[in-house]
Chains A and B, each alone.
Chain A
Amino acid sequence: MTERPRPSGQRGVTLRRLLNIASAAALLVALYLVSTQGSVKLGQVFALFAVWGIATVSLNLINGVTGILSLGHHGFMLIGGYVTGLLMLPEAARENLRFSARNSLSDFAIGLSVERWMSALGLDALATPETIGVRFVIALLLGGLLAAVFGLVVGFPSLRLRGDYLAVVTFAFGEVIRLLASTPLLASYTNGALGFAGVPSGFGKSVWWTFGALAITVFVFARLKKGSYGRALQGIREDEIAAEAMGVNVAYHKVLAFVISAFFAGVAGGLWVSWVGTARLDLFLFSLTFYFLVAISVGGTGSITGALIGTALVVWVRQYGDPLEQAYPLATWAGAAGAVLVVAALLGYLYRRNRRMRPALHPLAVGAAAVGLVVAALSLFGVLDEALARRWQGFGMRAIALSVLLVVIMVFKPAGIMGRREFEWTWLLRDARDVPTEEERRQDAWLEAGAGATAPRPRGAEE
């Protein structure tokens, strides 16, 4: 975080620095506790948060900061994941693949390995089991680089196309990458839809490693966003033609945004493959990009802290949403649906009344409540008892919950929780410091200039 001079002199800066150090220390302690005391499940949640966080933050550079809707992130992750997986396969897994009857990996693909390159280059010291970390970093970087090359390919259409068309083209590129990976053309590297197992994961599963990568990613993207480069990207988001007129090389910046984003997506894919231990096509479905999109939209488009908050929410729903997907009697489901309907109708009523929208009771809410009441009445009189006793499995409930959440966010708070802002300590310390906030200063200036001269811009008006 860059320091900006504050009217109160050094005090705020020191306080903020102290708080930064304290929170970093708290995070380290928390990670230590998770890695030593935490359950396996908790470790998984943290690792998944870190890996998906990297992907989300990198997607945020295109979607949030540059304002281009890109939907092909799962393709970049797939490339990085497969490259890292192939390069990291240990000798035993290679032998298994070589003799497995159903594998279609070519001898060349089976021969690919960072370990072998290292010994071929005379760096035998790096080809020992102790140096797996170094090799892992090299494999990740190579996976990221190949993904970045594809980012370059996908970035070029962004020069000719905008908006929806570009979104669809990026989506098509992502799907083409996924479809091609299962065809004979690339099956000698990807083993078709089966993929390959045995990627060393003890290393990738460590909380330290994944969070280290996340920390580097966040640092890089925070610097990018604050620097002149990020300002140019935000300029492109606001008005491309104006940015061009101000001397921003729009084409260069757009393509570079794709390249950087794809690189980090590839690294995230590599980390994920290494963490899961297998490289499979169904790890890289479009749903992945959808989850990142949910995270970005919920957290705040263009905000790194927002992306991380959103990721935490998505990972939480994904990892702890199991109860939603169990089998319950239909009566339980009907009851839950009724409760959700009633709460939603109530919220809708409050919202409309607060906004002074008439009529406050929306026909949809009334209809939903009526359906709920009819079902309740029918089951009360025993009409539906037999039908409602059947058990029903809630497959897909988590995804449904996330998509409903996304629609609600888009309809009621399109800017997300954080908007485009980043988290600042001043939000928590406003009372402790005697520095006026941005808004207070704006209002003071307005009062000094004479009330009514220019209306103060309401908070968040720029969003």
Chain B
Amino acid sequence: MTTPAHAATPHGPSRRGAGLARRLAPWSAAAVVAALAVWRMLYLHGVNDNFNAAFFAGAVVRSLQLGSLYALIALGYTMVYGIIRLINFAHGEVFMVGAFAAYFLFSATPYPWPVAVLVAAVVAYGFLRFLGFFRVLGRPVVLAAASSCFVAVALALASVRLGWLGAMVASMFVTGVLGMAIDRVAYKPLRGAPRNSMLITAIAVSFFLQNFGLLAFSNRQTPFRPQSFFTGQLTFPVAGETVFTTWMVVLVPAVTLVLVLVLTTLVTRTRLGRAMRATSQDAETARMMGVDVDRVISSTFLLGSMLAAAAAVMWGMSFGSINQPAIFGVLPGIKAFAAAVIGGIGSLPGAVIGGVLLGFLENFLTALFPRVGSFSGITEYKDTFAFLAMILILLLRPSGIVGEDLSEKV
């Protein structure tokens, strides 16, 4: 295919002279939506006392929690798309593997020593790659760090039961290495191949991982309740009422914020980040300017998969269980992809904005249209919101909310 994928010729009437209207249009649309939401809240409040300020405050914090999870997954999609223009269909399954890896890291430890050594080797490899990004460490130091990491992780896995934090970090490295391996085995041989081939391969990888999950973890609901302060109940007062929720609504956005800040620093302040930005602009030129493009792509997969694993662990902790591996990653994956598209695929802030927006959309629509009287509510439609929002955004503004307007090149 010779045509660029971000297509959509902007057409229609001339936009000159409509500058103010165009600038105000999104804000007025947002204002209209907010006004409708407030009106609906007041209406529900009048109908039923259960729909008080605390109910909607609970919806807000839950939206932020879910939105942060979507944002973390969406970052993986958007980074890979930004670098090699591939929709990594397998990212949802990477998320699934992150959840199950964490489960086995903190429920099945301590391991027998061969397994501990194997897992520690994978973690240490991921650690080495991660450290290698900064290039501030001399080679012997990196090697020493990685080998001490290897020894420490192997000892820990073979002797103690991991806490949720240790499991999350180890799972991030294991999953990151998986992401790199996927790129190495399935995508790298296809660099320069038609885009459809890459997409079909990504679908095949996703299918492989789904069924591998079925094979390895069996198709069941797995309780995911680490004994932790964070899963305990959190109550806070709003307008005289009490909101009941868990500490996860604080932890998830906080961890997400930290990870996004780390990622932003990495992308804007380090050599690797500069190389990534250069590669996403023009891979060929970047290669000519001395950027090791393959290494950049590989580290993109590492980072994106690590974020997905972090999201997966927090997802399991938030909802108390991780379910059938064959479908666990599908809906979060495709919703996060929708979030990336809504925000503007290829843009990091776009992924975060899109994810949070999608979280609010999903939680708020179900909160604003609950089961009242004979009306059965719209909870059962909530999975379709993400798809419909994505289709709408793609048709109206294919470059997303913060993406630039890309016109077709011939």
Contact = CB atoms under 8 A, between A and B. Distances in A.
A332 to B, nearest CB: 14
A364 interface: yes
Contact of A399 (B186, B207, B387): B207
A65 to B, nearest CB: 13
B394 interface: yes
B211 A399 contact: yes
B407 to A, nearest CB: 13
B204 A403 contact: yes
Given A160-B398, A180-B381, A406-B201, 10 more contacts: A71-B203, A157-B395, A163-B3, A169-B394, A171-B334, A172-B391, A293-B200, A395-B218, A400-B212, A404-B204
Instruction: Give the dominant DSSP class at B's interface.
Output: helix
Contacts, number: 153
A179 B211 contact: no
Interface of B: 1-8, 85-87, 114, 184-186, 189-190, 193-197, 199-201, 203-205, 207-208, 210-212, 214-215, 218-219, 326, 330, 334, 337-338, 341, 376, 380-381, 383-384, 387-388, 390-391, 394-395, 398, 410
15 contacts: A69-B196, A69-B200, A163-B5, A164-B86, A165-B5, A167-B199, A169-B391, A183-B381, A185-B381, A286-B330, A293-B203, A297-B200, A397-B211, A403-B207, A407-B185
Given A157-B391, A399-B211, A180 B2 contact: no
A162 B2 CA distance: 11
A410 interface: yes
Contact of B195 (A164, A176, A183, A394): A164
Contact of B7 (A162, A290, A297, A411): A162
A63 B203 CA distance: 14
Given A163-B5, A168-B337, A364 B387 contact: no
Contacts of A180: 381, 384
Given A172-B391, A407-B186, A162 B3 contact: yes
A335 interface: no
A395 B214 contact: yes
Interface in A388-418: 394-397, 399-400, 402-404, 406-407, 410-411, 414
Nearest to A294: B204
A414 B193 contact: yes
Contacts of A63: 196
A17 B185 CA distance: 47
B186 to A, nearest CB: 5
A364 B186 CA distance: 13
A396 B326 contact: yes
Contacts of A378: 114
Given A163-B195, A168-B87, A239-B2, A400 B200 contact: no
